[in-house]
């Protein structure tokens, strides 16, 4: 499998390059980024044969079988469409788009071309959440409530590496997207009721810096999500699963019961790295000619829910 990573020197492009190194019979043959000197430096450091500022140039290459898009959110829809029309399966970093309309366009092009497209809903693959999902599928667990906190201290336009970036992040269309999809994935239901509340917009970035979201499924499971770019403290997303048969706390790739006893996740997956696991699923689905877990069609309901929440913000 020969892969192009677009956005290769950004925070998550770098994570994908590292993850792909761990997968047998996978080679990164091309990388793309907006600054020629930077992308050439990454290619030289990693021994990658082709580097360009043009995604079209990468798509035209015979030695590119598939593409991972780790580019700015606002580019995802048009770039995903270009990949599919070029016959290249594509994994789109979360979110696949920042609107329901663009998400639907991606799904329509996937049906039209038949080329596989996967959304980067990495929470489906983190071992902590996989452990919960396996228990649910086995009939031993049912989610009654999820309480989730997504906190950053990001009052300027910086990426996860602490570097300035050219695009603006979004609490709803990026960070809430993780939890909205995960809640529907773990409950096996589409949200029937939802609302959002937002705090003041940043005077320069033009985005809400604090947000609260509530959701409910038809069977009665509820989810409360708090998000902030103003939190000066531990950063990241923390999940509390309150279930019919236990309470569990998921902190990225670690899982604890409700009394803070750590749960052994060593037998859940081949790796403890969620990015590696989602990349493995992408590669395996291409090789096996099947739809991946987290296809753009699987995750479209999350985008529909985000659209409803956005409309409730007023």
DSSP string of 239-284? EEEEETTEEEEEETTEEEETTSPBPP-TTT-S-S-HHHHHHHHHHH
| pLDDT for the residue numbered 49 | 96
Closest CA to 295 of 304, 285, 287: 285
How far apart are the C-alpha atoms of 118 and 98, rounded to whole Å? 15
pLDDT digits (tens, 9 = 90+) for 137-195: 999 999 999 999 999 887 665 655 566 555 557 899 999 999 999 999 999 999 999 99
Sign of CA dihedral 267, 270, 273, 277: negative
Q: What are phi and psi of 225, to 5 degrees?
A: -125, 125
Least confident piece of the model among 27-36, 169-178, 239-248: 169-178
Mode of pairing for the β-strands spanning 222-228 and 210-216: antiparallel
- Considering the segment(s) 123-270+301-312 as one domain, its CATH architecture is 2-Layer Sandwich (3.30)
| pLDDT for the residue numbered 161 | 58
Q: Is domain 2-122+274-295 classified as CATH 3.40.50.2300?
A: no
| pLDDT for the residue numbered 157 | 59
The conformation of residue 175, written as its DSSP 8-state character, comes to: I
| pLDDT for the residue numbered 162 | 62
Contact residues for 111 (Cβ-Cβ < 8 A; gap 6+): none
Q: Whole-prediction pTM value?
A: 0.94
Q: What is the mean pLDDT of the chain?
A: 94
| pLDDT for the residue numbered 233 | 84
| pLDDT for the residue numbered 26 | 98
Domain coordinates in residue numbering, the chain: 2-122+274-295, 123-270+301-312
Determine contact, residues 94/87, Cβ cutoff 8 Å: no
| pLDDT for the residue numbered 47 | 97
pLDDT digits (tens, 9 = 90+) for 210-232: 999 999 999 999 999 999 999 99
Closest CA to 104 of 301, 312, 309: 301
Check residues 7 and 169 and name the one with the higher pLDDT: 7
DSSP characters for 50-111? EEES-HHHHHT-TT--EEEE-S-GGGHHHHHHHHHHTT--EEEESPS-SSHHHHHHHHHHHH
Contact residues for 5 (Cβ-Cβ < 8 A; gap 6+): 13, 16, 17, 20, 28, 30, 31, 32, 67, 68, 70
Mode of pairing for the β-strands spanning 2-6 and 66-69: parallel
Determine contact, residues 69/93, Cβ cutoff 8 Å: yes
Mode of pairing for the β-strands spanning 222-228 and 143-151: parallel
pLDDT digits (tens, 9 = 90+) for 78-93: 999 999 999 999 999 9
State yes or no: cis peptide before 287, omega within 30 of 0.
Answer: no
Check residues 154 and 109 and name the one with the higher pLDDT: 109
């Amino acid at each position: 499998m020969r892969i192009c990573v677009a956005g290769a020197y950004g925070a998550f492009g770098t994570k994908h390059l590292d993850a792909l190194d761990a997968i047998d019979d996978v080679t990164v043959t091309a990388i793309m980024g907006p600054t020629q000197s930077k992308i050439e430096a990454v290619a030289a450091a990693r021994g990658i044969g082709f580097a360009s500022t043009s995604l079209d140039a990468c798509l035209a290459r015979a030695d590119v079988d598939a593409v991972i898009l780790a580019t700015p959110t606002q580019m995802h829809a048009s770039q995903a469409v270009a990949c599919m029309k070029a016959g290249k399966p594509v994994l789109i970093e979360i979110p696949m788009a920042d609107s329901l309309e663009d998400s639907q366009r991606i799904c329509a092009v996937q049906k039209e071309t038949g080329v596989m497209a996967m959304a980067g809903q990495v929470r489906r693959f983190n071992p902590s959440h996989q452990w919960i999902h396996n228990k649910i599928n086995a009939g031993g667990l049912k989610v009654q409530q999820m309480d989730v906190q997504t906190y950053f201290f990001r009052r300027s336009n910086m990426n996860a590496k602490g570097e300035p970036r050219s695009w603006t992040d979004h609490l709803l269309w990026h960070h809430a997207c993780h939890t909205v999809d995960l809640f529907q994935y773990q409950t096996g239901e589409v949200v029937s009721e939802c609302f959002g509340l937002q705090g003041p917009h940043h005077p320069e970035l033009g985005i809400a810096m604090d947000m609260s979201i509530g959701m409910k499924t038809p069977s009665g499971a509820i989810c409360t999500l708090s998000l902030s770019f103003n939190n000066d403290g531990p950063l990241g997303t923390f999940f509390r699963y309150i279930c019919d048969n236990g309470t569990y706390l998921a902190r990225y790739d670690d899982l604890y019961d409700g009394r803070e006893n750590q749960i052994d996740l060593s037998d859940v997956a081949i790796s403890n790295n969620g990015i590696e696991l989602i990349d493995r699923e992408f590669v395996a689905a291409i090789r096996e000619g099947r739809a991946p877990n987290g296809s753009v069609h699987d995750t479209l309901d999350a985008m529909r829910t985000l659209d409803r929440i956005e409309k409730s913000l007023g």
